[in-house]
Amino acid sequence: MFTNTEQIQLMRALEDRIEELEELGEKRPDEKWGFDEDIEVCRSALAKIEKLPDAKVKGGLATSEAKAEAVRENGRKGGRPIYLNGRPVDFDAAVKLMDNGLREQVHAELAPCGKQKFLDRYCELHKRRYSRDFEVN
């Protein structure tokens, strides 16, 4: 079974492939019959995916939507910078310096969430426990 995100990604990939094959068929009309067969296979797969019920993961659609929001916030590799005390920081380096118990607490409270939201919550708990700001040098 697919998650909602996987289902949408697969549908988009099939739609892109259909478009690509249609363009190739127009450019090479002598080979069009081969493209037409491939297009029909993609359309058939797309129709089957569209009929699948919404995926339910970890509590259903709300969790899938939260995951999608986290992906949008975090972007892809090299996406939006993460800030700590007004300065951009390497999130992975920050995680390595975090207190394991506090990090797990934030994960349990917020996951899935964006990196900035995670770091902000961790900083709140860190200050409360250690009476000083969390720092990454």
Residues 14 and 73 in one domain: no
Residues 122 and 78 in one domain: yes
Q: pLDDT per residue over 60-97, tens digit each? A: 444 555 555 555 555 444 457 788 988 889 988 999 99
**103, 108, 112, 113 alpha-carbon torsion, rounded to 10°:** -50
Residues 123 and 65 in one domain: yes
Range of the domain at 10: 4-51
- The yes-or-no verdict on residue 101 having pLDDT over 60 is yes
- Within a domain: residue 137? no
Q: Report how far residue 72's alpha carbon sits from residue 69's, in angstroms, rounded to the nearest whole number.
A: 5
Determine the average pLDDT of the residues in 32-61.
65
Residues 6+ apart with CB under 8 A from 126: 98, 99, 102, 132, 133, 134
Determine the average pLDDT of the residues in 31-60.
65
Q: Which residues pair with 82 in a beta bridge?
A: 89
Residues 108 and 67 in one domain: yes
Residues 81 and 108 in one domain: yes
Residues 41 and 101 in one domain: no
Report the Cα 120 to chain-centroid distance in Å: 20
- Within a domain: residue 56? no
* Residue that is last in its domain, among 29, 51, 73: 51
Residues 124 and 105 in one domain: yes
Structural domains of the chain, count: 2
